[in-house]
Amino acid sequence: MPELPEVETVRRTLQPHVVGARITGVQVRERRLRTPIAADFATRLRGARITAIDRRGKYLLFRLAGGGVLLVHLGMTGNLSLSPPGTPLETHDHVVISFDRPLVMVYNDPRRFGLMRVGNDAALTELATVGRDPFTAAPAPHEWRALVRGRKLPIKNLLMDQRLLAGVGNIYANEMLFRAGIRPRRRAGGLRREELARLGTAMAAVLADAVELGGSSISDYRDANGKPGSFQMRHAVYDRAGEPCLSCATPIKRVVLGGRSTFYCPKCQR
DNA sequence: ATATGCACCTGTGTGC
DNA sequence: TGCACACAGGTGCATA
């Protein structure tokens, strides 16, 4: 579920409540995430004060006083939400963190594809391969050339390569290619200069709009306050197979690229 | 090095 | 109503 705009929305909605708070309790109800939650996870968090929340691609980094980091990835169905102490827990509420204020932060994740780890920046190996963040550090036009040079894979697959551009997932790769007028299957290295320029513009616009609207709520995504996003109302192609293109009314096509559903308008995207 | 396919896990929707 | 199957926002590993 959560791609860059959703993770950024969660970060923004957590920040005012959690930054400055001290962790007073950590309850791990289910350790079996993508990588099992370490045995000393709770011990290392207890007593720590959160000084900031950063984001790198789809990762959230809770900065802890003293140099530690709580690293969180929401996977496909992960969710971080705030609630008053004493709120009944629900199925798949795997981790509950309480603070020195009347507030708890709950990690819920039905499919358990997410990740929670405590360490320092150097010890968090998963951060080593995270590429540049297209929301806070969008590639300049001349940098696109270097990103795609010699690459034969479909441009959509390249957009979703977290080692290059961290944060773009299936929804937003589809949407930005529609806005750029480029077919998802086009070989990345074969795109012309003006197409790359259009893609850069489309990427910035789609991400900005999506963050502005609080992300996309397809089924169960909510921000930290339980509020859904509304960018799904703006989806031009994602999950619209057979429906008319919003621009030319041609039926939207669905194909599979890299094992992921891919949607495009055969007329507007060349 | 690069590209692809599948496994990981639970929930939901569809068709029989 | 039950059952089988396909599919879902992501990533990592095995395989060519």
- pLDDT band for position A123 (cuts 50, 70, 90): confident
Tens of pLDDT, residue by residue over A23-33, are 999 999 999 99
The pLDDT of residue A132 is 95
Nucleotide in closest CA–C1' contact with A157? B3
Question: A2 an active-site residue?
Answer: yes
Round to whole Å and give the CA distance between A110 and A144: 37
Burial degree of A269 (CB within 10 A; 0-12, 13-18, 19+)? buried
Could you give the CA distance from residue A216 to residue A230 in angstroms, rounded to a whole number? 6
Mean pLDDT for all residues in chain A: 96
Q: Is the pLDDT of residue A230 over 70?
A: yes
What is the structure's pLDDT at A178?
98
Residue pair A72/A59 in contact (Cβ under 8 Å)? The answer is: yes
Confidence at residue A2, expressed as pLDDT on a 0 to 100 scale: 93
Burial code of A127-160, b = ≥16 C-beta within 10 A, e = fewer?
A: beebbbbbbeebbeeeebeebbeebeebbbbbbb
According to DSSP, residue A234 is labeled G
User: Which residue of the set A58, A183, A198, A253 is catalytic?
Assistant: A58
A163 carries an active-site annotation: no
Nearest partner of A114 among A92, A132, A134, A136, judged by Cα:
A92
Within 7 Å of a protein beta carbon, the nucleotides of strand B are: 2-12
What's the pLDDT score for residue A189? Answer: 96
pLDDT of residue A94 exceeding 90, the answer is yes
Evaluate if residue A252 carries a pLDDT over 70: yes
Percentage of residues in chain A having pLDDT higher than 90 = 97
Query: What residues pair up with A80 in beta bridges, in sequence order?
Result: A107
Per-residue pLDDT tens over the stretch A44-85: 999 999 999 999 999 999 999 999 999 999 999 999 999 999
Confidence of residue A1 (pLDDT cuts 50, 70, 90): low
A152 in catalytic set: no
Concatenating the DSSP letter of every residue in A36-64 gives PPPTTHHHHHTTPBEEEEEEETTEEEEEE
Model pTM above 0.95: yes
pLDDT, position A183: 97
* Minimum-distance nucleotide, CA of A161 to C1': C11
Which of A41, A43, A46, A49 shows the shortest CA–CA distance to A66?
A49
Mean pLDDT of A209-217: 95
Q: A165 by DSSP, 3-state: which?
A: strand
Q: What percent of chain A has pLDDT over 70?
A: 100
Per-residue pLDDT tens over the stretch A131-175: 999 999 999 998 999 999 999 999 999 999 999 999 999 999 999
- What's the pLDDT score for residue A121? 86
Q: Pairing state of beta strands A93-99 and A69-73? A: unpaired
